[in-house]
Amino acid sequence: MDEMKDVVLKYVINEYLEDEDEVLTYDTPLISGGIVDSFSMVSLKRFLENKYKISIPDDKATPEAFDSVTKIVKLVNEFLK
């Protein structure tokens, strides 16, 4: 679980974080915090699907479910089971 959190956090920092001085944690709001917008969420979803060989239905890929690394990991784990 923690390993997945680190993988997702690292990906978000590398791909989406524009302000190099901003510190991201597992619980930093990503969507409501303006770090990942709704269009970019598509690429984040694609990353998770490629990385963990899962398919996340569109109705589960909501802004709320993607709003932090912790929530994303919880969502991914639902589909890994």
Q: Where do contacts with other proteins occur on this chain (CB under 8 A)? A: 15, 18-22, 29-40, 42-43, 46-47, 49-50, 59, 62-64, 67
CB of 72 to other proteins, least distance (A): 14
CB of 22 to other proteins, least distance (A): 7
Which one, 30 or 73, has the nearer CB to other proteins?
A: 30
Burial of 69 (0-12, 13-18, 19+ CB in 10 A): buried
Which one, 1 or 10, has the nearer CB to other proteins?
A: 10
CB of 63 to other proteins, least distance (A): 4
Query: Which residues are CB-contacts of 30 (< 8 A; sequence separation ≥ 6)?
Result: 12, 16, 36, 66, 67, 68, 69, 72
Q: How many helices (H) and strands (E) does the chain have?
A: 3, 0
